[in-house]
Amino acid sequence: MNHNELNGESFDVVVAGGGNAALCAAVTAARAGARVAILEAAPRHMRGGNSRHTRNIRTMHVAPTDVLVEAYAEDEYFDDLMRVTGGVTDERLARMVIAQSGAAVRWLGNQGLRFQPALGGTLSLARTNAHFLGGGKALVNVLYRAAEAAGVRVFYDAPVTGLDIDGSRFQAATVGGSGAAPARIEGRALVVAAGGFEANIDWLREYWGAAADNFLIRGTPYNRGEVLRLLLDADAARIGDPKQCHAVAIDGRAPKFDGGIVTRVDAVPFGIVVNRNAGRFYDEGEDFWPKRYAIWGRLVAAQPDQIGHVIIDAKPVGRFIPPVFPPVMADRIGELATRLGLDPIVLQETVSAFNRSCQPGEFDHNVLDDCRTEGLAPAKTHWARPIDTPPFRAYSLRPGITFTYLGVKVDATARMQMADGHPSDNIFAAGEIMAGNLLGKGYLAGIGMTIGAVFGRIAGREAAARARN
């Protein structure tokens, strides 16, 4: 549907965005009897934002389910979140999201989404995360079908470029897309679920400087933070440090946008990582990879030219999911260095020093094993084995930005708060645009979708109720 047909139209609930959070909100609001419009910036074939790249959702459960083993209690989930965020989270909202995570997953299943057990690999999530059969694309397709069946009108190529907000009351959105004349759409309530600003390099540069030019954006190019900026300019209460984000180390050959999950490099715990000067800079074996993968984007971002290279030998091949790009290979370290554009003598020295410092131990990548270095700075504290078995392999790493944490502050009813401390009259927020309420820093794999699904459903319910009054 073309958004020009919309000009002058009025809805009960206008939803800005077209990913998981937006869809959960739209379906819920429509089922509550509201007339709902989804305004999705992307064209139809690119719909679904970062949600279409996802694989799983983290959920508490008190007993094994058909796709999750053992139990994952509310308190353990909460403790995990406290640990990764260093306590920088809204504890009340965090507990609420966790407590409602099981119901959200069941609701997704009721829309027709199927789940599957986790595959083995470096991210051992079989107990904590329910995996979508068919991935995030399947989730997005299921939810769009549910939205259309519930009578939601979906508009593609419909970026929200303006918001008419009177005090704290939403009146109308302006939509302007692909050279078409802008359209004005009125609404009795607004749900904002339009993602973070991760795809807006200019905005990232404000905090990261020129380094931002070397960042690769793992997801949709449409999350440019336009709606977030409009809300902050309209005196919404902001939450989150603008420099905090989820950033992983991805293959340097990945495309600038939308490379998705296949570009992630999971080989780090099995080798060493060096920078442009062929020197190591961090403990590659500090903790299990699911608890550490999300720090490596920032670590690489802090290196000269924002580049790193993970070096492994033949031993770990087959123990991690290989990225989509083949490794650079050579039979000698010096040769590998030349292929990577590194100084061969320095890399040879770095590898030799590492090899000499490796202590005898029993290698087991499923536990925090006793294979560690002695007398090396920085140390490698687990899974340290000499790199001595050719052919040697390397993957070059760049910071891959997943999503940013700066957002709008909300309460437990998903209602956006204003900078003066009052709640907004009729604006609700869900997903990445408010994830900073829970994620002050750090990340817990699968919680992005939990936040979107739980807050999306709340926002839809509350917006529909607000529209009725």
Is the CB of residue 174 less than 8 Å from the CB of residue 55? no
- Asked if 268 touches ligand FAD (CB under 6 A), the answer is no
Q: Which region, judged by CB under 6 A, interacts with ligand FAD, from 190-198, 234-242, 299-307, 387-395?
A: 190-198
| Interstrand relation of 153-155 and 36-39 (parallel, antiparallel or unpaired) | parallel
Sites for ligand FAD among residues 347-406 (CB under 6 A):
402-403
Minimum Å gap between C-beta 379 and ligand FAD is 31
- Asked if 223 touches ligand FAD (CB under 6 A), the answer is yes
- Asked if 22 touches ligand FAD (CB under 6 A), the answer is yes
User: Which of residues 12, 20, 303, 311 is near ligand FAD by CB under 6 A?
Assistant: 20
Q: Which region, judged by CB under 6 A, interacts with ligand FAD, from 66-74, 217-225, 327-335, 367-375?
A: 217-225
C-alpha–C-alpha distance, residues 67 and 116, integer Å: 6
C-alpha–C-alpha distance, residues 319 and 385, integer Å: 14
- Locate 141 and state its tokens: 């397709």
- Asked if 247 touches ligand FAD (CB under 6 A), the answer is no
Minimum Å gap between C-beta 64 and ligand FAD is 21
In sign, the C-alpha dihedral spanning 128, 54, 32, 95 is positive
Letters for 31-70 (x = contact with ligand FAD by CB under 6 A, - = none) are --------xxxx-----xxxx-xxxxx-------------
- Asked if 153 touches ligand FAD (CB under 6 A), the answer is no
Minimum Å gap between C-beta 194 and ligand FAD is 4
User: Which of residues 3, 35, 153, 218 is near ligand FAD by CB under 6 A?
Assistant: 218
Q: Which region, judged by CB under 6 A, interacts with ligand FAD, from 222-230, 291-299, 303-311, 414-422?
A: 222-230
- Locate 13 and state its tokens: 């609930």
Calculated CA dihedral for residues 239, 242, 244, 248, nearest 10 degrees: 130
Task: Residue 400: name the closest of 250, 273, 265, 293 by CA.
Answer: 250
Closer by beta carbon to ligand FAD, 393 or else 398? 398
Minimum Å gap between C-beta 436 and ligand FAD is 12
- Asked if 17 touches ligand FAD (CB under 6 A), the answer is yes
Residues near 443 by beta carbon (within 8 Å), at least 6 away in sequence: 84, 246, 294
Is the CB of residue 178 less than 8 Å from the CB of residue 3? no
Minimum Å gap between C-beta 118 and ligand FAD is 11
Torsion-angle region of 336 (φ positive above 0: left; ψ -120 to 50: alpha; else: beta): alpha
C-alpha–C-alpha distance, residues 145 and 152, integer Å: 10
Total binding residues for ligand FAD by CB under 6 A? Answer: 44
- Asked if 193 touches ligand FAD (CB under 6 A), the answer is yes
Closer by beta carbon to ligand FAD, 54 or else 396? 54
Closer by beta carbon to ligand FAD, 370 or else 411? 411
Q: Which region, judged by CB under 6 A, interacts with ligand FAD, from 141-149, 223-231, 312-320, 365-373?
A: 223-231
* Count helices and strands in the chain by DSSP H and E runs: 11, 19
Calculated CA dihedral for residues 256, 262, 268, 274, nearest 10 degrees: -30
- Asked if 187 touches ligand FAD (CB under 6 A), the answer is no
Minimum Å gap between C-beta 446 and ligand FAD is 4
Q: How buried is residue 198: exposed, middle or buried, by Cβ count under 10 Å (0-12/13-18/19+)?
A: buried
Is the CB of residue 49 less than 8 Å from the CB of residue 39? no
Centroid of chain to Cα 172 = 29
Closer by beta carbon to ligand FAD, 21 or else 190? 21
- Asked if 448 touches ligand FAD (CB under 6 A), the answer is yes
Is the CB of residue 275 less than 8 Å from the CB of residue 307? yes
Residue ranges binding ligand FAD (CB under 6 A): 16-22, 39-42, 48-51, 53-57, 159-160, 193-195, 218-220, 222-224, 226-227, 260-261, 402-403, 431-432, 446-449, 452
